[in-house]
Chain A
């Protein structure tokens, strides 16, 4: 198994070993070891919850900076995420944004919202195939793709096998540039995706070998916001190529409602998404055609690299959308006859689909391990205090069973033993069925 590369980084200096991130991690990927939070790469899904809740700003996201781009020598195409349009109070018209991006120094702009409209068309074609298992799950949010791959393996085959709009945008942008300027050196044509979240940064980092790397840089909406703000007025407009549908992708319901098919569901927030996936897996969900899932509340406008409050951004986007046509992008005419998505647009998941299992080996050894975990868990206080460095007692029992923690790390248990020692009942040590726990004192 290849470890997934992440964009969430820890600053050991700032980390105090408090338990905020520990408790909020939806996949229990964090442990406190040696007084510092440590993230297990195999389990992290890049949801950025830990960055949001850290009171010491010890966690951050790693992405490229504008200063790294060589505007003088490269032909760099900006790929702005639809959320970017919702960040500016003074943006009255979508046409001002591509113009401002050109004056930052980009040679061209290919709006991801434009690719999103084409993506919507392809999804409609895909849903026309009667053999496809329903409901089809959106694969646009990288956090959700990873959550499904790790926690809901039974639903993997439901993921829409189409590359997300940012990848389509990069591919189409490159093709358009080379078609318009045949004299360009293909190696000098670069794309820079402007991302609303760290998860998309990670997605690009994990492009599998053998696949053409279409996205060269991942910038943050945040950095571009400050560069673009003074340029939105007084710069020459460059007509935007997006409609209501494309911009709608920035917020929850945008992708699903664009399919013009009322048998859909849209859920946002990891805890809501998890509940929906559990229900789909047990079959306790009405018949649905399509399910849109987003890790961030309110959808991509809730991404960590945005500037504006997600709910304000959503209102602004709706205001901008009001004057736009429904969609400005259609597929080539011949595409509509086939009900098929072209092979080269199918996604190659940037990860292998192995689950981050707690248990390993054949069924017999897994059962033995599970029995052991259950026995250890039965001896623990069940307070889920996090003092041991694991998010809850069950996770701690797993760590002990796997030899990654010692029973004596349990603070509550140790306190009781200490009290017994101090009151002269020292002989009671280890009498609670925790025979392996006499280490540590």
Chain B
């Protein structure tokens, strides 16, 4: 019979869907992530970094990829955030990493997004950032915070 007791070999896992057509709901996953991390007793600065970087990632998924999913894995030493989408992919990751470079459409910019700071901000706030993107297939971004 399964027992609910402790088995801490695996990190605690959270999974949220990011709705692709709704700017106003973008950021919901980062709010829930923030709440969970606070309950887990992480320090304020780390929580702020995760929340801001994750928010940027969520907005990117909405702008470019019609949404996707956000996963968070938490163990004692680190928080890992994995953002997966099946969008168009990033043709030139190096270029996308440059501050101010953006492929967002005018209609997106009119909403106040698309300043070309998404990936640069994620890189700035995460301790590690790995971008795995294939054109036509999608993008997976993995951020680690310690």
Contacts and interface: CB of A to CB of B under 8 A. Distances in A.
Contacts of B34: 278, 281-282
B48 A154 contact: yes
Contacts of B2: 433-435
B62 interface: no
Contacts of A372: 4-6
B31 A363 contact: no
Nearest to B48: A154
B40 A366 contact: yes
B98 interface: no
Chain A binding surface SS class: helix
Nearest to A431: B1
Given A154-B44, A282-B30, A435-B1, A371 B8 contact: yes
B55 A282 contact: yes
Interface in A364-401: 364, 366-368, 370-372, 374-376, 401
Contacts of A359: 39-41
Nearest to A370: B12
A187 B34 CA distance: 49
A362 B138 CA distance: 38
A370 B13 CA distance: 10
Interface residues of B, number: 31
A131 interface: no
Interface in B1-26: 1-8, 10, 12-14
A282 B31 contact: yes
Nearest to A286: B112
Interface in B66-82: 74-76
B33 to A, nearest CB: 10
A282 B8 contact: no
A283 interface: yes
B7 A371 contact: yes
A281 B13 CA distance: 23
A386 to B, nearest CB: 21
Contacts of A282: 27, 30-31, 34, 51-52, 55
Closest 5 CB pairs of A and B: A435-B1, A368-B6, A433-B2, A282-B51, A282-B55
Interface of A: 153-154, 278-279, 281-284, 355, 357-359, 362-364, 366-368, 370-372, 374-376, 401, 430, 433-436
